[in-house]
Amino acid sequence: MASHPDSSHSVQVRLGGGLLEALQKRCLRTGESVDHVIHSALAEALDLDHHTIYQVSTSGALVQGVYSGCVRIGNLLEHGDFGLGTFDGLDGEGILLDGCCWQARSDGSVVKPPADALGRSGW
């Protein structure tokens, strides 16, 4: 059966209680959707590339003055290895490159933030 690569299909699956509970706990812990976790697991099991974009917030929120952090850097690193963003209270620019997160501060210094630092818009 051939289909367009961007088409979407539904599959109905029965999961045992333990598997469903583990899936739900992971989604609560990471913020990932059930669809994303299942897509990722299937792609890995079938040895296929799986690319997604993980966005924490938007530049529109910054324009409206929303500066508080909303995701821990440690959690952010679970979603990818490349990105840009800001930190809680606009405390520097965030650079995620090759799986390492860097914080470029207004004084010109660049440091590795702790895993529990709060990231903000972008990423």
Tell me whether residue 7 is in a domain.
Answer: no
Are residues 112 and 65 part of one domain? yes
Range of the domain at 19: 15-52
pLDDT at residue 115 greater than cutoff 70: yes
- Rounded CA separation 109/49 (Å): 36
Task: Summarize the chain as % helix, strand, coil (round to 5).
Answer: 30, 20, 50
Helix axis angle for 17-30 and 34-45, nearest 10°, is 110
Which residue bears the tokens 């995701």? Answer: 71
CB neighbours of residue 120 within 10 Å:
23
pLDDT band at 2 (very low <50, low <70, confident <90, very high): very low
First to last CA, the chain: 37
Q: How confident is the model at residue 8 (pLDDT cuts 50, 70, 90)?
A: low
pLDDT of residue 32: 83
Hunting for tokens 């690193």 — which residue is that? Answer: 77
Element (H, E) at 9: none
At 24, give phi and psi (nearest 5°): -65, -40
Q: Are residues 106 and 86 in the same domain?
A: yes
Say whether both 42 and 63 belong to one domain: no
What are the tens digits of pLDDT across the range 29-72? Answer: 988 888 889 988 998 899 887 777 778 888 888 888 888 888 88
Residue 88 located in a structural domain: yes
What CATH number should be reported for the domain holding residue 107? 3.30.1330.80
Predicted local confidence at residue 55, as pLDDT: 83
Residue 39 lies in a domain: yes
Q: Which two tokens stand for residue 75?
A: 């959690």
